[in-house]
């Protein structure tokens, strides 16, 4: 069952199309990621899903409800952590959590949330005195305190240190395990690859690709990377003639190639033919970062 449906969504500002015909569906219990360069239209898209912006055209539904016409009902099933948020400066963490919990008929117990997000020691601290990372963790807690069926997280772990980021990833996986559908906007490739079941890559207001993380990586021009330092020079023409070669780079005597398994096999054959030893040979799969760069460059 599709919990979120977006069809031919369009939104323009000053005559410029920020979102230009975006369509996707998020299935129940899924962690669905949205990736894209700055200004690609990611946040505008999710703000239309949240009912914070009115689309110029297209159709958006959250659990079958229109986020604009049925805004009050949508607010009861959808939690949101916005990219930029503020609270009243003198409000304490406890007061904020209690206040937001009071908005919902069956809120979550905010105490375990506060503990899990490292806020238990900050309950009496005023919002203005929180660090940037602490504010971010508070907003995540506020997005979850209403026991939402769907939660939208925009730049989830911005401002968090590496340990807090990984703890938050585990929290989101636990949230999904509890039956909550997650729409995640991020620019951290490791985060998207770790958490997301499927990812939409948005570039220039349009979807450049939509697939699983592994599927996007397989689309990368260079799905396999091989690097080594040759014991003797290799002919540049031989390297450029390698089958399915996507890229070739030289740095400090080290050669790095990206391509496919066919490229790797051909390199090994080339080295053997010329009796050249490959020192510090490394063969790795491409990453989501590689795929993202390929997809957005292709779309631009």
Residue whose C-alpha is closest to residue 151's, from 161, 141, 159: 141
Cβ pair 263, 242 in contact under 8 A = yes
Sheet with 16-27, edge to edge strand ranges: 16-27, 2-13, 57-62
Cα gap 244→221, rounded to integer Å: 9
Residue 300 pLDDT exceeds 60: no
Residue 211 pLDDT exceeds 60: yes
Which position has the token pair 């592994």? 214
> What is 218-298's CATH number?
3.30.70
- 249-291 pLDDT, tens digit each: 999 999 999 888 899 999 999 999 999 999 999 998 777 887 8
Cα gap 265→257, rounded to integer Å: 12
- Does the reported pTM lie above 0.85? no
pLDDT > 90 fraction of the chain, expressed in percent and rounded: 66
Which position has the token pair 């970062």? 289
Mean pLDDT of 112-134: 91
Give strand pairing partners of 226.
Answer: 257, 283
Cβ pair 209, 43 in contact under 8 A = no
Cα gap 224→86, rounded to integer Å: 44
Cβ pair 296, 37 in contact under 8 A = yes
- 48-98 pLDDT, tens digit each: 999 999 999 999 999 999 999 999 999 999 999 887 788 999 999 999 999
Going from N- to C-terminal start, the domains of the chain cover: 2-211, 218-298
Pick among 3.30.450.20, 3.40.630.10, 3.20.20.140, 3.40.50.300: CATH of 2-211: 3.40.50.300
Query: Would the CATH topology of 2-211 be identical to that of 218-298?
Result: no
Residue whose C-alpha is closest to residue 39's, from 86, 85, 83: 83
Residues contacting residue 161 through CB under 8 Å, at least 6 positions apart: 133
Q: Does residue 50 sit in helix, strand or coil?
A: helix
């Amino acid at each position: 069952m599709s919990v979120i449906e977006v069809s031919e969504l369009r939104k323009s500002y000053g005559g410029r199309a920020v979102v230009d015909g975006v369509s996707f569906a998020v299935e129940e219990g899924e962690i669905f990621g949205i990736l894209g360069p700055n200004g690609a239209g990611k946040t505008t898209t999710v703000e239309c899903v949240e009912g914070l912006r009115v689309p110029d055209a297209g159709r958006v539904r959250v659990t079958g409800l229109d986020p604009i016409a049925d805004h009050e009902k949508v607010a009861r099933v959808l939690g949101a952590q916005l990219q930029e948020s503020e609270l009243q400066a003198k409000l304490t963490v406890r007061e904020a959590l209690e206040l937001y919990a009071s908005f919902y008929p069956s809120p979550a117990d905010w105490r375990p949330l506060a503990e899990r997000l490292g806020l238990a020691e900050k309950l009496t601290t005023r919002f203005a005195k929180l660090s940037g990372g602490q504010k971010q963790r508070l907003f995540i807690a506020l997005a979850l305190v209403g026991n939402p069926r769907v939660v939208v997280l925009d730049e989830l772990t911005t401002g968090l240190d590496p340990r807090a980021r990984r703890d938050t990833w585990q929290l989101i996986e636990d949230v999904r395990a509890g039956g909550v559908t997650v729409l995640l906007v991020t620019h951290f490739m490791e985060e998207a690859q770790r958490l997301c079941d499927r990812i939409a890559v948005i570039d220039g207001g349009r979807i450049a690709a939509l697939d699983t993380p592994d599927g996007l990586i397989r689309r990368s021009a260079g799905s396999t990377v091989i690097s080594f330092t040759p014991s003797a020079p290799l002919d540049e023409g031989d390297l450029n003639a390698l089958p399915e070669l996507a890229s070739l780079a030289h740095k400090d005597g080290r050669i790095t190639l990206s391509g496919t398994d066919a490229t790797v096999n051909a390199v090994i054959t080339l080295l053997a033919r010329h009796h050249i030893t490959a020192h510090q040979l490394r063969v790795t799969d491409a990453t989501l970062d590689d795929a993202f760069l390929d997809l957005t460059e292709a779309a631009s």
